[in-house]
Chain A
Amino acid sequence: NAGVTQTPKFRVLKTGQSMTLLCAQDMNHEYMYWYRQDPGMGLRLIHYSVGEGTTAKGEVPDGYNVSRLKKQNFLLGLESAAPSQTSVYFCASSYLTGGAYGYTFGSGTRLTVV
């Protein structure tokens, strides 16, 4: 099993450009998440999804949009990138097992906006 796969792994964008980050999981998990990680701030939740066709806002949703048209994919879009969106982005998926959620994280996407 591949687990959670994020593409691309690295990207440099110019201010104002748009891009989409793809997260794919092959574990049939219901729940999927997008986080950003900045130095000294831990992981902050951007958006999440509790099932195909659903999305919800997390802690820091501004400037991002998401879609979950298929259960296995969760897309994160930046419509007009800003330098403040320079960060490492992690996708995760989860399922409920034994009274707890088992979270699996992708390897991350390092995004630089210049």
Chain B
Amino acid sequence: ELKVEQNPLFLSMQEGKNYTIYCNYSTTSDRLYWYRQDPGKSLESLFVLLSNGAVKQEGRLMASLDTKARLSTLHITAAVHDLSATYFCAVDMDSSYKLIFGSGTRLLVRP
């Protein structure tokens, strides 16, 4: 059974600092997704990672994928308040058609 674990679950950081969110998954997966959710809102797609070693960057966020370690990271560089949100990773497989989510990381960026 595919399981996805994120850590930390809550992250409070100062503006200007760097930090990394980790996403581990239990079985071989075809794809790894990162989403952002603002309070009371739906999910916004950030990145889709398809293969081992894949790296994608958008602004202050960079996501990477290590399929051998079954690990993805979301790195935040020089955090700003606007990045405060909950971040989810999720994985799916062609064989199951299911998108399974981690528990999410609630990020709070303090001035």
Contact = CB atoms under 8 A, between A and B. Distances in A.
Does chain A bind chain B?
yes
A113 B65 CA distance: 40
A40 B7 CA distance: 12
* Range of interface residues on A (Cβ < 8 Å): 20 to 34
Contacts of B97: 31, 48, 50, 56
Given A99-B50, A100-B48, A100-B50, A45 B100 contact: yes
Interface of A: 31, 33, 35, 40-45, 48, 50, 56, 58-59, 90, 92, 94, 99-101, 103, 105-108
A42 B98 contact: no
B103 interface: yes
Given A101-B31, A101-B92, A45 B98 contact: yes
A50 B99 CA distance: 12
Contacts of A33: 98-99
Nearest to B33: A103
B42 A106 contact: yes
